[in-house]
Structures are given as structure tokens and as C-alpha cells.
Structure 1
Amino acid sequence: MKLTTMTMAAMTVGVFAFVTIPATSGKAETPLPMTAAAAAAPQDDDHADEAKDAHGDDDHAGEAKDAHGDDDHAGEAKDAHGDDDHAGEAKDAHGDDDHAGEAKDAHGDDDHAGEAKDAHGDDDHAGEAKDAHGDDDHAGEAEGAHGDEGGGDVVKLTPEVAKEAGILLEQAELGALGESLSLPAEIRFDADRMANVTPKVSGVIDRLLVGEGDTVAYGDTLALITSRELAGLKSQWIIAQTNEVLAAQALERLEGLWAQKITSEANVQTARAEHESAKTESEAAETELHAVGIDHAALEKIAAAQDGNNANAYLTAPLAGTIVRRAATLGETVTAGDSSAKVLFTIVDDSVVWADIAVYKQDISRVLVGAPVALKSGAGDVIAQSTVAFVLPVIDEVSRTATARVIIDNSDRSLTPGQFVIADLSVGNTSEVLRVPQSAVQLVEDSPSVFVPVEGGFAPRAVMVGTTAGGYVEIRSGLEEGDLFVSDGAFTLKAQLEKDAFGDGHGH
């Protein structure tokens, strides 16, 4: 084998990976293996080892053969560099001015000769590059990840569902907002909506029909008492009724005889007196029965009652409410009377309750009737709002405080008598400002917001808040006078909004 001077010079420099032998017989030039070129190249001290590693290793010789001499990979090389579909890619990889220097580094430097092979001779990496930049599936994911999220700011509720959820709307209005005064308060039953049930006749409890916690309506039977006293009163009334009927018949007969001049007028007068007396006795007996709880409807049934039934006394509910105490025992003997009567049942209507606020002596003059009041739990949450109904002008000898009473609608039964709360009162006078209930303002994405009605539901609107007093918050911007906002149920909407946002965020 003879090498030309040009070929040897190229091998000495070590730039090219392959050298050629001039054709002497007219045949195509045959590529010289990399190992031969490496063997022919002078061994430079600095790069001798690198050259050996890059081109003189037997293992790599096989790889070079696989890369360029194998028929199987010949087609792949054609696909990588000779396919029209990838012509643009090749241009992008090697034809850009910005990468001209990189091409030089990849093919002209000894240190990077092996890297150039890895970068452009490996079919696997060519496929990875295609996957990294040419996959349509990932392009779609990128688009979805940054799409429009505006729809997530609306809590979609129909008017019917909003009504069932207790969502209430109000118009933003101007109102006084004075200094806030926080005082302790206790929830109590409304004394006008509370009843202690005692027996009206003495007897033995024969049946109990309700227990503690039961809800009753007006007139419902609570217990059945067997009473000899009641039996006697009913008997007296029946006798009086009979005597009245007989006296009326006698008077009618004598008046007929007197008209015929058969009897004297004196006899008629006597009959009239007896009738009046019988009538009076009947009315008195009826009054006695009314006094022990027997109404007119029950009186009509007394005469037709079976033997023994006239001794039954029915203890009924004087008002609608809840049984909060039952002190009656089956078979117990009870006594009627103003002072000796035992309270058998206690019924309360807690749909309306009182909040008695303890006002310190120095603050009494500042608490005015009609002042806004917000009741707060120990955690500071507003649980009810109302106004001061009146202030008792008496100072307790022990606590040295006066009582300011607030009447509260408790139809949702959120307040329990005996519960202690904090009353936030608005005291003093100030100029009117745009205000909303404190419970209407919720933190949405760390920004104070109120919910306003929009098409299809409700959306949060960021607001700037000011002073807080008496359960109200000053709105300095974000809401205008007359704007509709959610005054009750804002927390429910906030919770639903956060739930929807959490679900959207985990949609992938």
C-alpha cells in the first residue's frame, strides 16, 4: 500500500477522520480505516493519549465500522442526512451563521472529534431531538397549561340554588360608623317566649307524651293526669246544667198557665228566680272547669264521656317551642296551686333570643338605643348582627355593670342560651360612609373582596376597606352606593370558589 504526500500530510495534522488512496486502476477510492490514520499520525505528547483513545482503540474500531461500513446503517445515514423531509433540519443544525463556529469545533478540533461523532452519528439522539421539539402532543399541553382562567372566578349558582343556600343580596348604602366598643355578652331566652307548665288540677300522672328536646305546637298534649278533683268539678257542672234545663222547663210551663189565668203571678215569679239561680250555678261550674284548662270544645264532650273519662286532665302546651326541661315522672302525684304547684315542663321558643351586654359604668352614656351591634365568637367571627333595644338604668351591685339588651333573630338556631359572646358596639357619632356588614367581606387570594351577582352566578370583587365598627366595614373603593352585593352567605361562596379552583388545578 502506497500513500501520497498529500495524504500523509493530512494524517500528520490529524484533522480528517478518513484519508484516501489515489486510484491507480480506475476503481472508486476506498476509505482508509480510522485506525490506520491514527497509526500513521505522529504522536504528539499532549494529544497522543487522546488520539489513541479517540481513534486507536479496538473497541472504537468496531464502532466506526458499525457507523459507516454496515449496510444496515447505510440507510439510516441516508435518512439522517439525505432525506428531503429533514433537509430543513440539517440546515438549521449546520447552516445557521450563529452555529458556524460550532460546526468548526465539532469537526476541526481533536479534542471534540469523538463528541462530533456522538452528536451527528448516533441515530438514537436524532430521534430524541425530534421528540424534544417536534412532538405535537407536548405542544398541546403547553397551550393548555397557560390557557384562559377567567371562568374560575365565577361561582355558578342558579337563583333557586342560591336561595336554598341562604344567599342574600343587599344594596350598598351610606351609614354612620362610629368608634367600636367590645364588651362581654350572654345569650338568654326571650322571657316573652318561655313557659313553665304546672298542673292545674291535683292528681296522678298517668301518661307522659313528650320528652326533653321534643318540639311541640300550641295546644299539643304533654301529659295525662288522672284527677278526682277534676271529676268532681265536671260532676258539679253536669248537675248544674241539668238543674238549669229543668228550671227553664218549669218556668215555661208556669208562664203558659199564667197566660190562661190558671196559676198565679207569684208562682211565675218564683219559677223565674229558680231558673236564674240554676243558670248562675251552671255558669259558675263552667268557670271552674275553664280555670283548670277545660275549654268550650272539651265541655261539649263531657256529658257524652264514658264512665271514668271525666277524671282525665290533659296538660297541654301553652305555646309552640322546644321542651328544654321535663320534671314529671310517671305515676307521680302532683298538686295544683299558685305556690305549691310543681313545674312539670319548660317550653321555650328560641327563634328569637336576647343578648344581654355588660356595660361598664364609664361606658353607659356612650351606648345608645339603636346602636349597631355585631356578636362575635371567641375566634372573632361575626355570628349575628342587630341593634341595641334598650339599656337598663340599673347598675348591678356585684358586677357594677348595667345591661344593654339586644333582640336577635335566631331562626337558624345558631345561638344557644347560656353562650358567651363578644358584642362589638358602634358608639359615638361620625359622618356617613359607604359600609357593608363585616361578614360580607372575605379574603379572596389575600385581597379583601365582596361577592357581587354576575350572569350565571356570583364573582368576587376586590375592595379597599377602612374602619371596622359595630359589625360594619367601611368600603373606600371597589363598590359604589346602590351596587348589589352578597350580604349573607359570602363565606359559603368563598368556600365554593376555593373548591372549584382546587379542582381545576388538578385537572391534569
Structure 2
Amino acid sequence: MKPTTMTMAALTVGVLALVPITGATGNAETPLPMTAAAAVAPQDDDHAGEAADAHGDDDHADEAKEAHGDDDHAGEAKDAHGDDDHAGETEGAHGDEGGGDVVKLALEVAKEAGILLEQAELGALGESLSLPAEIRFDADRMANVTPKVSGVIDRLLVGEGDTVAYGDTLALITSRELAGLKAKWKISKTNEALAAQSLARLEGLWAQKITSEVNVQTARAEHESAKTESEAAETELHAVGIDHAGLEKIATAPDGNNANAYLTAPLAGTIVRRAATLGETVTAGDSSAKVLFTIVDDSVIWADIAVYKQDISRVRVGAPVALKSDAGDVIAQSTVAFVLPVIDEVSRTATARVIIDNSDRTLTPGQFVIADLSVGNAAEVLRVPQSAVQLVENRPSVFVPVDGGFAPRAVMVGTTAGGYVEIRSGLEEDDLFVSDGAFTLKAQLEKDAFGDGHGH
């Protein structure tokens, strides 16, 4: 019987299965028995054995397991997304105050830096009205210094721009007039003393009935006359600036010193004008007397606001006023002190005067500014100074004290007038906030954020 093709194929596979497998060392190993499944596998598929190795005893099976099981990057990924250093930073830095960072600053240091705290409170706030204003010297803090006696300027001790205190010597004038007044006073004091002695002697004689009453009365009249002349001479010296301490020094003054007249500062301030020249002859006591020095104290100044006639009825005494630069920056804040009850014939405006504390010298007399007034019917609202509100991360915010420093707190603002801003939410009455120095804190916050790589 002729074998079939299927029988021949099975025999061929069986013979091949009995061939010994030689290892890498050349030693024969025990023949591997074939399974029925292997016997019926297609005989000409070259990849059959390769597939078995790949999925049977393949060394990469364990390697793959390690790669996806004990892979070192698995823990690394967990750390990267679980214990990320920035995770805690984000939570702490943008905590409870409007998502902003804390500016680390002790309260004592903040106070020295000019950062002031106030409690939020209710205040009147009306409509905003912007008017032109001019900065002027306070007339009560300005002095023109003229000589009190005629003479020759012998020494000049100050110049323009110098700061002087009350009573400081400005110039020395050699005055024959003053020397004559002092001599007259000395003579009158001597005559008074002699008249007093004569009266005392005659009163003693009258008591003993040795002299007449007429002589005593005459002595009394002479004494009163001498006393009156002495008092008049003393008054003249007081009028030219000689006080009681100076009177006591007249009798013991060195030769020539009684002609020295010292021109002194009547108030503390700055010399803004000096018209005196060394060796110049000056006169006193009439309208031709020359102003030698002009002293001003610009620690307090006036802002005169030009109020148009249609707005006069809207401006009230005590209304908040903010003085602003042309760029809109708030320079100073105060209230309307009074409104003059006259209208200028040329400009047709009235004057509303504001008294400004200018101790930091930010305003200069002669400067023109914009006055932002709160006018009309004012309502009681929670308000803060306009400079206290700063944009932090594009949100209006005020800085509030927190543990270790200051943090921005987002607020909702309303009406702005007279240098104040209405706070509708985000801040409550009596809450502490930074009323002065908020811009400094914002600048420091942005500086710290830039250094940390966070944007604000």
C-alpha cells in the first residue's frame, strides 16, 4: 500500500524529533519528546519555534515584569506629583488673604518704613468734583524781617536756603541809634536812683521836723519824674528787641558792644529771600524800611481751590479733598477749611481753602494741582484712602496685618471721591488695614514673586 502524504509528513516530524540537541559545549542532551500539538503544527513555518521561545521561556518576560512592576520611576513619578515642593508652597503662599503672598515684615520695622495701620470706619462720601488749585504759603507761617534800629550791616550769618530756628541770629547791625537808647536808659536809671535817695533823706528830715513839707513834696515829684523817664527809656529798648535779660547786660557790656543790634528770626523756617548786603546802611521805623530776610515755614501750607460759581453751593466745609498730580496720583489729603464768601471779579470763581500738612515737603508753594472734592449729598459708607487700594493680580486689594507680616485682601470697591474709596465687600468696619505705605508693600510683594518665579 502506498503511504499517503499525511502519513509521510507525520513520520518525517517524528524522525526529526528524535535527533539529539547539541548544546553550546558540544555535549548531547536528552531528546525532547514532541507533543501531539507540535506534531500537527505546519512543518514549513520557520517562526513556529521562535514564537515558542518568545512567549515560553523568554528571558524578557521577567525583565518586562521588573520594568512595569518594580520600576524605579514609578516611585519617582509618585514623588513628582505627590510630594512636589511647589504643592505646599502654592497652598501656603496663596492662603487666606485673596490668594496673595505674605510680605514678611515686623510691625516695628514697618512703622519705621512709614507703613501706617488704621481701622476701617464709616465716613461721608458724595460725588466727585475735580477743580484746579494752587499751593500757597500759610500767611501765618511767613515773616518779612526788617531792622528795628537804623545802622550798618556789619555781619551776615545766614543765606538763602538756610534753615533757622526761632531766635537764631540772622545779621549783626552796628547802630548809633541803639547805643543812644541804651545810654539814655542808663542815665534815667541813675537819675531815678538819685531821686529815690534824695526823697528818702528828706522824708527822714521831715520826720524829725528839720525840713519843710514843701521840700518833701518836691523830692517826691522829682522821683516820680525820674522813674517815669526810666520806664520810658526801658520801653524804647523793649521796642527795638532788648528784653530784660539784655537790660541787665548793658551796664557790664564791653566797650562798643552796646551799639550791636542783633537781627533774629521771629519764627522757625527756611530763608527764601535775602536782600541784605554786607556794609549796607539800613533804616528803621518808616515805610521805606527794607525787608532784609523772608522766612517761611512750609511744614503747613494752603491749597486754594478755584470753585466755579455754579459749584459753590455744592462745596461744604469739612468735605474730603484729595490733591492729585497731572498723572492722577494722590499727593496729599485733607478737608475744606472754609469757603471765602466772595467771587473774584476777573475769574468769577470763589476760593475754597484747604490746610495741608506738608511736613514731608511733597508740595511746593506756587505749584498747581488738581483738587478732587467729595460734594453733594454724602452717604455714610465704609471708606478707605484711595492710596490704600492697590491692584494685586489684577484685583483691587488692601493690605492687612497677618502673622509675620502683611497680606493683600481682595475687596470690591464702589464710589471714589475726595481721595477716598468706598469698600462694598472684603473689609469690615473696625478691621485693621494699611492706610499709608500700601504701594511699598505691593512693590515688595511683586519683587518677591518675581524672584520666586511666580507671577502676580
TM bucket by the smaller chain?
0.7 to 0.9
1:10–1:388 CA distance, 2 compared to 1 (3 A):
farther
1:344: how far off?
0.8
TM-score under structure 1 length normalisation: 0.72
Q: Which runs of 5+ in 2 are unaligned?
A: none
User: Contact 1:219 / 1:319 at 8 angstroms: preserved in 2?
Assistant: yes
1:273–1:165 CA distance, 2 compared to 1 (3 A):
same
User: Contact 1:19 / 1:37 at 8 angstroms: preserved in 2?
Assistant: no
Residue deviations 1:106-137 (CA, integer Å, cap 9, x gap): 99999999999999999999999999999999
> Equivalent residue for 2:382?
434
Structure with a larger share of its residues in helix: 1
Tell me whether 15-24 or 406-415 shows the greater mean CA deviation.
15-24
TM-score under structure 2 length normalisation: 0.80
Residue deviations 1:352-372 (CA, integer Å, cap 9, x gap): 110000111111111111111
User: Contact 2:273 / 2:293 at 8 angstroms: preserved in 1?
Assistant: yes
> Equivalent residue for 1:155?
103
1:245–1:506 CA distance, 2 compared to 1 (3 A):
same
User: Contact 2:98 / 2:409 at 8 angstroms: preserved in 1?
Assistant: no
Distance in 1 (CA, whole Å) between partners of 2:14 and 2:140 is 110
User: Contact 2:10 / 2:39 at 8 angstroms: preserved in 1?
Assistant: no
1:118–1:488 CA distance, 2 compared to 1 (3 A):
closer
Distance in 2 (CA, whole Å) between partners of 1:368 and 1:329 is 48
User: Contact 1:105 / 1:112 at 8 angstroms: preserved in 2?
Assistant: no
Residue deviations 1:142-176 (CA, integer Å, cap 9, x gap): 99999999997122222221221222222211222
User: Contact 2:319 / 2:335 at 8 angstroms: preserved in 1?
Assistant: yes
Structure with a larger share of its residues in strand: 2
User: Contact 1:180 / 1:469 at 8 angstroms: preserved in 2?
Assistant: yes
User: Contact 1:449 / 1:460 at 8 angstroms: preserved in 2?
Assistant: yes
Distance in 2 (CA, whole Å) between partners of 1:15 and 1:184 is 117
1:263: how far off?
1.1
1:26: how far off?
3.6
User: Contact 1:358 / 1:404 at 8 angstroms: preserved in 2?
Assistant: yes
1:29–1:412 CA distance, 2 compared to 1 (3 A):
farther
1:426–1:260 CA distance, 2 compared to 1 (3 A):
same
User: Contact 1:218 / 1:318 at 8 angstroms: preserved in 2?
Assistant: yes
1:292: how far off?
1.0
Tell me whether 393-402 or 177-186 shows the greater mean CA deviation.
393-402
1:393: how far off?
1.6
1:23–1:240 CA distance, 2 compared to 1 (3 A):
closer
1:98–1:268 CA distance, 2 compared to 1 (3 A):
farther
Distance in 2 (CA, whole Å) between partners of 1:370 and 1:430 is 12
- Specify the SS of the correspondent of 2:359: coil
User: Contact 2:178 / 2:259 at 8 angstroms: preserved in 1?
Assistant: yes
Distance in 2 (CA, whole Å) between partners of 1:341 and 1:204 is 13
Alignment: residue pair count: 456
User: Contact 1:372 / 1:385 at 8 angstroms: preserved in 2?
Assistant: yes
1:467: how far off?
1.2
Residue deviations 1:325-352 (CA, integer Å, cap 9, x gap): 1111111111112411111111111111
Distance in 1 (CA, whole Å) between partners of 2:401 and 2:318 is 30
Q: Which runs of 5+ in 1 are unaligned?
A: 44-95
1:503: how far off?
3.0
- Specify the SS of the correspondent of 2:446: helix
Superposition pairs of residues 81-480 of structure 1, within 5 angstroms: 153-480=101-428
User: Contact 1:15 / 1:110 at 8 angstroms: preserved in 2?
Assistant: no
User: Contact 1:7 / 1:19 at 8 angstroms: preserved in 2?
Assistant: no
1:314: how far off?
0.4
Distance in 1 (CA, whole Å) between partners of 2:312 and 2:374 is 13
Tell me whether 181-190 or 359-368 shows the greater mean CA deviation.
359-368
Distance in 1 (CA, whole Å) between partners of 2:21 and 2:282 is 132
1:441–1:265 CA distance, 2 compared to 1 (3 A):
same
Distance in 2 (CA, whole Å) between partners of 1:217 and 1:15 is 128
1:139–1:216 CA distance, 2 compared to 1 (3 A):
closer
1:263–1:491 CA distance, 2 compared to 1 (3 A):
same
Q: CA RMSD in A?
A: 7.7
User: Contact 1:450 / 1:462 at 8 angstroms: preserved in 2?
Assistant: yes
1:139–1:255 CA distance, 2 compared to 1 (3 A):
closer
User: Contact 1:188 / 1:418 at 8 angstroms: preserved in 2?
Assistant: yes
Distance in 1 (CA, whole Å) between partners of 2:15 and 2:394 is 65
1:374: how far off?
0.6
1:15: how far off?
26
Distance in 2 (CA, whole Å) between partners of 1:131 and 1:9 is 61
Distance in 1 (CA, whole Å) between partners of 2:243 and 2:56 is 119
Distance in 1 (CA, whole Å) between partners of 2:300 and 2:260 is 35
Tell me whether 496-505 or 24-33 shows the greater mean CA deviation.
24-33
User: Contact 1:15 / 1:108 at 8 angstroms: preserved in 2?
Assistant: no
Residue deviations 1:83-113 (CA, integer Å, cap 9, x gap): xxxxxxxxxxxxx999999999999999999
1:261–1:359 CA distance, 2 compared to 1 (3 A):
same
